[in-house]
Amino acid sequence: MLLLLHGALGSASQLQPLSSQLSERSHASLDLPGHGGLPILAPFSMELFAEGVLHFLDQEDIPQADIFGYSMGGYVALWLAWKHPERVRSVVTLNTKLDWTPDVATRMSGMFDPEKIEAKVPAFAEALAQAHAPTDWKQVARYTAHFLHDLGNGLGLPTEAYAQITCPVTILRGEFDHTVSTEESQQTAAMIPNAVYKEIPGGKHAIEQVDTAAIVQTIEGGRSYEL
């Protein structure tokens, strides 16, 4: 089973274009807790998101999964590979921020200010309202900003965790992603025993601005996956 995890402020619907181009192997897209209309029952955290994935795997009777994670979803996938290695067969991340400091978190959390989003990009605000209904998308944004501050203050993956991830990992990055650097991606790949770094030419941070066919080729090529 291949599980697809969306990015921050995203939902399972964000991954539909990718899902539609995958082969007929079994795969599913998952809404993380508080996203895609799911209620917000607790502050966002790595533990909460991991529990959401594990609950889905248990509910669907899936003992072990290959995981593709876009942006935040990739970070969740790596957390699961570290904390619950028996449930993760392989990981592919796309445009996942891996270098978290207080300064990085402060800078990035400003991008999730709901009032600024509504004022500057109203079409995006409306899309978020639809994607997360009936949950208030502004609450999702505020919880995400707090979550990023937590990552910047040491509540994400510690450096030593990467060396303990034993499954195959591909760190994938769009060539022109200005949110995630080449250096942090390559350095993280070097710390994971069975990891490789790959770059998609022309790709930017938004998954909509990355060649879907290249993502599919990375997910399905070069690894031995179970159907």
Residue 223's pLDDT is 45
| pTM score | 0.95
Tell me: pLDDT of 25 over 90: no
The average pLDDT across 111-123 equals: 96
First to last CA, the chain: 6
Looking at the chain, the whole-number percentage of residues with pLDDT higher than 90 is 95
pLDDT at res. 23 = 79
191: exposed, middle or buried (C-beta count within 10 Å: 0-12, 13-18, 19+)?
A: middle
Provide mean pLDDT across the span 56-66.
Answer: 96
pLDDT digits (tens, 9 = 90+) for 74-105: 999 999 999 999 999 999 999 999 999 999 99
Average pLDDT over residues 107-124: 95
Residue 227 has pLDDT above 90, yes or no: no
Q: Is the pLDDT of residue 222 over 70?
A: no
How crowded is residue 139: how many other Cβ atoms within 10 Å of its Cβ?
13
Write down the domain spans for the chain: 2-98+162-220
pLDDT of 135-193, one tens digit each? 999 999 999 999 999 999 999 999 999 999 999 999 999 999 999 999 999 999 999 99
The yes-or-no verdict on residue 44 having pLDDT over 80 is: yes
- The CATH number of domain 2-98+162-220 is 3.40.50.1820: yes
Calculate the average pLDDT of the chain. Answer: 95
How much is the pLDDT for 24? 60
pLDDT of 225 reads 38
